[in-house]
Amino acid sequence: MSSDKKNSGQKDSGQKISGQRNPGKTRTIEVNYLARVEGEGGLKIKVKGGHVQEVQLNIFEPPRFFEALLQGRRYDEAPDITSRICGICPVAYQMSTISAMENALGVTVDLPIRQLRRMLYCGEWVESHTLHVYMLHAPDFLGYESAIHMAKQFPEIVKRGLQLKKVGNELMQFLGGREIHPINVRVGGFYRAPLKREFKEIVQRLLWARDAALETVKWVSDFSFPDWERDYEFVCLRATDPVYPIEEGTFISNKGLAIDVNDYENWFTEEHVAHSTALQSSLKGRGAYLVGPLARFNLNFDRLSPLVQETAKSIGFVPPIRNPFKSIIARSLEILYACDETLRLIEEYQSPSVPSIATVPRASIGFGATEAPRGVLYHRYRLDDNGLIQEAKIVPPTSQNQKSVEMDLWQFVESRMSLPKKELSWQCEQAVRNYDPCISCAAHFMEVRWEEIE
């Protein structure tokens, strides 16, 4: 247990795979850091007599204490502060915050504002999902260290990915001012709402992106996937309108859960484990659950647009999908949906008479949950008479998936013990990347450490 750390030497810079045989009976094999996830974390797997003894997803992202530093801030400052929790999905943070604040203040915004928010969120789905599909996950399936390495053999594919990602960013720039930490959203609406005619250029880009997303779905569906499944409890939102869940909804699961957002903390709990600066969530009395594209796809297939449903059926990808490695297909179908949905929304959009409605502070509690690219993101705030935050609670998707990741690895490693360690380590990294973990959110990056006792 002790030699592994010492020997890693470059714990922070060394992501190379190293192995060593100790004298005596304990064999320690370690892989420092897991690459291509957003943040800082590691993985420890302890094996004895050919069986897994322990799996720990270590998250050593330095804590930043957001829930504490939000105390004393005014409600309308919160969206810009919480967006800094994650540079990859700032819109998700802004939207969950805004949803909770508007819930606290009893505010309901008009249709055009809701449409603009949903479009902005679609931009983030396209950007974040494409980053993951092309740059972080696909290289695993094709055996490359990174998308840049992959670009040498598949330049056209990598360029398509970059351009698709760019369209997501362009949509966020257009509606939000910039793609990372957008500046145009506020409690009550937007600072500036675009006119209908301003959408002309982005429509052309989205038409291209929708085609590129179709190609993406076909591309990833031809990858070879480990034949492996698990019986998950999938948790996601179900939207009030008959659309796929993004910016609002109530909680559902494939195992009977159906609750309002303000009931979340009665059903879910967080615990603090020593090996992580992220808190681990579980469903009370039921344990691990899975959030993200697979959960949304499985439970909201009927809410996808006809184009996406047809495309999914044409590649034989229909619910229930229980193979986590196939999340890359679900993610690609969601890119397609986000493009298709934005085009539909633009068609319906009529610019609002005012870009935002006034909000008045009052002592209150507000709840908000939206679907971040990685899964549902829950916020709760308690405000005083002046609208100053007294208490904040934020449950990001990665901490909700953490237990599920550990269980996947436990069973996955157990079933593949005969593989060479180097290969198995890579497959473990890949299994973690199935979740597109955003460890900045959860607190952050991966290190795989094997400890084998013979």
Partner 1 sequence: MKRKKPTLAVWKFASCDGCQLTLLDCEDELLAVAGQVEIANFMEASRAVMGGPYDLSLVEGSITTPHDAKRIQEVRKQSKFLVTIGACATSGGIQALRNFRDIKEMTKVVYARPDYIDTLATSTPIASHVTVDFELRGCPIDKRQLIEVLTAFLLGKRPGIPTHSVCQECKIRGNVCVMVAHQTPCLGPITHAGCGALCPSYNRGCYGCFGPKETPNVEKLGTWLQDHGAKNADVIRSLQTFNVWSEPFREGVAKLNPKVELKK
SS3 413: helix
Q: Report the residue number, 71 or 415, with the smaller CB distance to partner 1.
A: 71
The one among 48, 51, 192, 284 contacting partner 1 by CB under 8 A = 192
Closest CA to 381 of 107, 77, 75: 75
Using rule CB under 8 A, residue 198 touches partner 1? no
Q: Which ranges in 272-420 belong to alpha helices (H)?
A: 293-299, 306-314, 327-348, 397-414
Q: Report the residue number, 194 or 245, with the smaller CB distance to partner 1.
A: 194
Q: What HEC string does 187-242 produce?
A: CCEECCCCCHHHHHHHHHHHHHHHHHHHHHHHHHHCCCCCCCCCCCCEEEEECCCC
Using rule CB under 8 A, residue 431 touches partner 1? no
Using rule CB under 8 A, residue 402 touches partner 1? no
Separation between Cα atoms, residue 142 and residue 154, nearest integer Å: 11
Using rule CB under 8 A, residue 423 touches partner 1? no
Using rule CB under 8 A, residue 221 touches partner 1? no
SS3 11: coil
Q: Report the residue number, 159 or 284, with the smaller CB distance to partner 1.
A: 159
Number of residues that bind partner 1 (CB under 8 A): 74
The tokens describing 23, both together, are: 């004298």
Length of the chain: 454
Contacts of 229 (CB under 8 A, 6+ apart): 322, 323
Using rule CB under 8 A, residue 284 touches partner 1? no
The one among 54, 65, 106, 287 contacting partner 1 by CB under 8 A = 65
- Smallest distance from the beta carbon of 413 to partner 1, in angstroms? 19
- Smallest distance from the beta carbon of 252 to partner 1, in angstroms? 28
The one among 118, 129, 137, 165 contacting partner 1 by CB under 8 A = 165
The one among 3, 21, 111, 145 contacting partner 1 by CB under 8 A = 145
Contacts of 296 (CB under 8 A, 6+ apart): 236, 237, 244, 245, 330, 334, 371
Using rule CB under 8 A, residue 208 touches partner 1? no
The one among 5, 27, 46, 73 contacting partner 1 by CB under 8 A = 73
Residues 42 and 58: beta-carbon distance below 8 Å: yes
Q: How many CB atoms lie within 10 A of CB 318?
A: 12
Within positions 8 to 27, which residues make up the interface with partner 1, using CB under 8 A? Answer: 10, 12-16
The one among 29, 34, 91, 442 contacting partner 1 by CB under 8 A = 34
Q: How far is CA 363 from CA 101, 105, 121, 270, 394, in A?
A: 11, 8, 29, 26, 19
Within positions 311 to 370, which residues make up the interface with partner 1, using CB under 8 A? Answer: 355
The one among 29, 36, 389, 403 contacting partner 1 by CB under 8 A = 36
Separation between Cα atoms, residue 135 and residue 341, nearest integer Å: 24
How are beta strands 446-453 and 51-59 bridged, if at all?
Answer: unpaired
The one among 4, 40, 334, 406 contacting partner 1 by CB under 8 A = 40
Contacts of 128 (CB under 8 A, 6+ apart): 88, 89, 168, 373, 374, 436
Q: Report the residue number, 153 or 314, with the smaller CB distance to partner 1.
A: 153
Using rule CB under 8 A, residue 389 touches partner 1? no
Q: Report the residue number, 211 or 233, with the smaller CB distance to partner 1.
A: 211
Instruction: Considering only the stretches 47-55, 63-71, 238-246, 311-319, report the one whose residues sit in contact with partner 1 under the rule CB under 8 A.
Output: 63-71
- Smallest distance from the beta carbon of 47 to partner 1, in angstroms? 22
- Smallest distance from the beta carbon of 422 to partner 1, in angstroms? 12
The one among 158, 217, 346, 413 contacting partner 1 by CB under 8 A = 158
Separation of first and last alpha carbons in the chain: 14
Instruction: Considering only the stretches 51-59, 102-110, 159-167, 400-408, report the one whose residues sit in contact with partner 1 under the rule CB under 8 A.
Output: 159-167
Using rule CB under 8 A, residue 247 touches partner 1? no
